[in-house]
Structure 1
Amino acid sequence: MDTATASLGSIVIRPDDLSHPAIHALLDEHLRNMFETSPPESVHALDLQRLRSPEISFWSAWDGDLLLGCGALKALDAAHGEIKSMRTPSALRRRGAGRALLAHIIDVAVARGYRRLSLETGSMAAFDPARRLYESFGFSYCGPFGAYVDDPHSVFMTKELPPR
């Protein structure tokens, strides 16, 4: 599943090597927005170089030549993964790409045998749509995990996964 392409309607999700200029632009938008909405010490978004780490798998969602979004899965250990870099371009939201990417990442995590999938997102109102999306997939609020610490600008969520 990590190397497979998935489709949902006209949305095609595929593994991404982070080389396409559209991905660079989307990740630049993501980082810019994170620094606009959160204090620097509370920004946990990864830049292009850090997304190329071996423990991270990265996917992009396309409709033809139009980039609709991206998302990543970081291996924390053999049973726990973290969702990273979930983003849809501001101008292309509400097309189902975020939902499709999240479903794909969950499927990959289950296929890998992860027992838990977690994430960090912002606590401010700008992150309400993201939190609602995660809630709709069964994520619940939890405390910090991994190297994270309590932070009033961060919200932590987790989901127990079924055995494969």
Structure 2
Amino acid sequence: MRITVADPAVPDVVALLSEHLADMHATSPAESVHALDVERLRAPHVTFLAARDDAGDLMGVGALAELGDGHAEVKSMRTAHAHRGAGVAAAVLDSLVDAARARGCTRVSLETGTDAYFSAAHRLYERAGFVECGPFAGYGEDPHSRFYTREL
């Protein structure tokens, strides 16, 4: 698996992100969906990573948005169905944390859903050392959102 900085506007990534957004809207009310679309993932303060196998097939993606004051946020984590259970999400998350560290961040946070659909994500974040926290960076209390943070 190779994890590199990538353009979220390439066709296979767009398809995976479209699937991601569709699932987020299927599991949470629209006002509780905070996933970024392709254009917002191309913003200068966002680092977008793609994991690909040796054949170049897309395995998964993730992004890191710098919030300022040494704080960054994990965004748009998604593993392609064919690669679930193979450690892709953990590897992408580790790469995002490494990217945050390289940028001098001292804290990484994230928002995810509360539905049972998100239980695998909750386990992933907890295994990676993230702990539940309150809303951050303009988020508000929301019964459909769960917040995590990790000091670096």
TM-score bucket (shorter structure): over 0.9
Query: Which string of whole-angstrom CA distances, capped at 9 and with x for unpartnered residues, describes residues 106-162 of structure 1?
Result: 11111111110000000111000001000001100000000100000000000000x
Mark the runs of 5 or more structure 2 residues left unpaired by the alignment. none
Residue in structure 1 matching 2:97, options 95, 106, 119:
106
Mark the runs of 5 or more structure 1 residues left unpaired by the alignment. 1-10
Task: Determine the structure 1 residue equivalent to 2:50.
Answer: 60
Quote the Cα distance in structure 2 between the aligned partners of 1:16 and 1:96. 19
Does residue 74 in structure 1 map to residue 82 in structure 2?
Answer: no
Alignment of 1:83-98 (within 5 A): 83-98=74-89
Structure 1 moving runs of 4+ over 6 Å: none
**Aligned 8 A contact 2:79 2:88 in 1:** yes
**Aligned 8 A contact 2:108 2:149 in 1:** yes
**Aligned 8 A contact 2:5 2:49 in 1:** yes
Quote the Cα distance in structure 2 between the aligned partners of 1:125 and 1:19. 30
Report the count of equivalent residues: 151
Query: Which string of whole-angstrom CA distances, capped at 9 and with x for unpartnered residues, describes residues 73-124 of structure 1?
Result: 0000030000001001234211111011001111111111111000000011
TM-score (norm 2): 0.97
Quote the Cα distance in structure 2 between the aligned partners of 1:140 and 1:130. 13
Give secondary structure in 2 for the equivalent of 1:95.
Answer: coil
Give secondary structure in 2 for the equivalent of 1:13.
Answer: strand
Task: Determine the structure 1 residue equivalent to 2:137.
Answer: 146
Query: Which string of whole-angstrom CA distances, capped at 9 and with x for unpartnered residues, describes residues 49-84 of structure 1?
Result: 111111101010000221100000000003000000
Give secondary structure in 1 for the equivalent of 2:129.
Answer: coil
**Aligned 8 A contact 2:112 2:145 in 1:** yes
Give secondary structure in 2 for the equivalent of 1:53.
Answer: coil
Query: Which string of whole-angstrom CA distances, capped at 9 and with x for unpartnered residues, describes residues 5-26 of structure 1?
Result: xxxxxx1001101232100100
Does residue 20 in structure 1 map to residue 10 in structure 2?
Answer: yes
